[in-house]
Amino acid sequence: MENYDIRAEARRLLAHLKGKYTLFSLPILIFIFQFITRLAQEIRNLNETGLTAQEATRLLGGSIFLLTLAILGSFIQVSVSWTILNSYRNQSTKVSFKDSLLAFKETLFSKAFAVLFIKGLFLFLWTIPSYLMFVVMIEILTQLMIVNGVTSLLPFLIVTMLLGILCFLPVITKSFSYAMAHFTLWDQLASNTYSGATNAITESRNLMKGYKKKLFWLEFSFIGWWILVGVTFGLAAIYVIPYITTARAIFYQKLKENSTQNVTETDGVPFSNPF
C-alpha cells in the first residue's frame, strides 16, 4: 500500500469514528499547551539580556514541568495509538476518553515504561557520538574560515546545517528503526509472546528493515500540516494529531501484514540485537 492510500485509509477511519475528539483530547491539549509555552519562552528569551536568580529558578521549574508533561504525554500517545490500531483492525466505530489512559493500567504501565525508557536510552547513546562528531567538524570549519578570511555567515550556516544532517543521520535512522516498538509491544502482549522491552524494540527493527525510507516519506508528507499547526499557534493540531496518529497505526498494520506473509514464505526472521 502506498502512503497516499494510508492517508486515505486514515481519513476514512476517522470520518466514521465516534468519540475521536474525546480520545485525542488529552494529546491535543498537551501539545497545544507545550507549543504555546515554548513559544512564550522563546519570545521572553529574545527580550531579555540576562536572568536573575529568581527568573532562572522559575525557568528551571517550568522546564521540569514541561518534561514531566512530555513523559505523561508519551504514555497517552501510546494509549491512543493502541486504541486506533484496534479500531482499525476490528472496524470499530466508537472510542472513548478512558481509552486514552490505556497505558496507565497496572498490567501495561511497567511494560510501556520499559519500552519508552529503553528506546529513549538507545537513541541518547546514538546521539553522543553524533554530537561529538558535529562539535569537532564545526570547530574544524570555524578554523578553516578564520584561516581563509571568510567573514560571511551564510556559507557557515549552510555548511553547519548540512553537517548537522550528516552527523545526526545515524540517530534519525535509528529513530525510524525503533518507531514501531510500542505497536510491537502491544501485539506481543496480546499474543502472550512478550519477553522483555528489548525484544519489542528488536521486532520493531526487524519490521522496519527496508521500510524506514517509506515511513520517512509518510512523515514528510505531513509537513504542510505541521506548518499549518505553527501558523495557527497549535490549533490545527485538533485535526492533525488524530490524522497522523491514525496514519502511523495503519502503516504499522500494513507492515505487520507484509511481515507475516514474508515469515510464512521464509520460515522465520533471524534474530538481531535491538541496539
Q: Give how far Cα 166 sits from Cα of 72, 99, 143, 144, 274, Å.
A: 32, 40, 20, 19, 23
Quote the CA–CA distance of 78 and 80 in Å, as a whole number: 6
Q: What phi and psi values does residue 222 have, to the nearest 5 degrees?
A: -95, 5
Q: Which of 22, 60, 69 is nearest to 41 (CA)?
A: 60
pLDDT of 105 reads: 94
Residue 114: band (very low, low, confident or very high) from pLDDT cuts 50, 70, 90 = very high
State mean pLDDT over 200-218. 95
pLDDT digits (tens, 9 = 90+) for 222-261: 999 999 999 999 999 999 999 999 999 999 999 999 877 6
Long-range contacts of 159-163 (CB under 8 A, 24+ apart): 163/134, 163/137, 163/138
Residue 262: band (very low, low, confident or very high) from pLDDT cuts 50, 70, 90 = low
pLDDT of 194 reads: 93
In whole numbers, what is the pLDDT of the chain averaged over residues? Answer: 87
Residue 213: band (very low, low, confident or very high) from pLDDT cuts 50, 70, 90 = very high
Where are the chain's structural domains? 3-259
pLDDT of 272 reads: 43
For residue 265, pLDDT beyond 80: no
Task: Using the structure block, give the residue that is written with the C-alpha cell 540485537.
Answer: 273
pLDDT digits (tens, 9 = 90+) for 174-195: 999 999 999 999 999 999 999 9
pLDDT of 259 reads: 78
pLDDT digits (tens, 9 = 90+) for 155-174: 777 878 888 888 889 999 99
Residue 43: band (very low, low, confident or very high) from pLDDT cuts 50, 70, 90 = confident
pLDDT of 103 reads: 96
pLDDT of 113 reads: 97
Weakest-pLDDT range from 46-50, 70-74, 252-256: 46-50
For residue 52, pLDDT beyond 70: no
- Which are the contacts of 46, defined by CB distance < 8 A and separation ≥ 6? none
For residue 141, pLDDT beyond 70: yes
pLDDT of 264 reads: 47
263 vs 147, more confident: 147
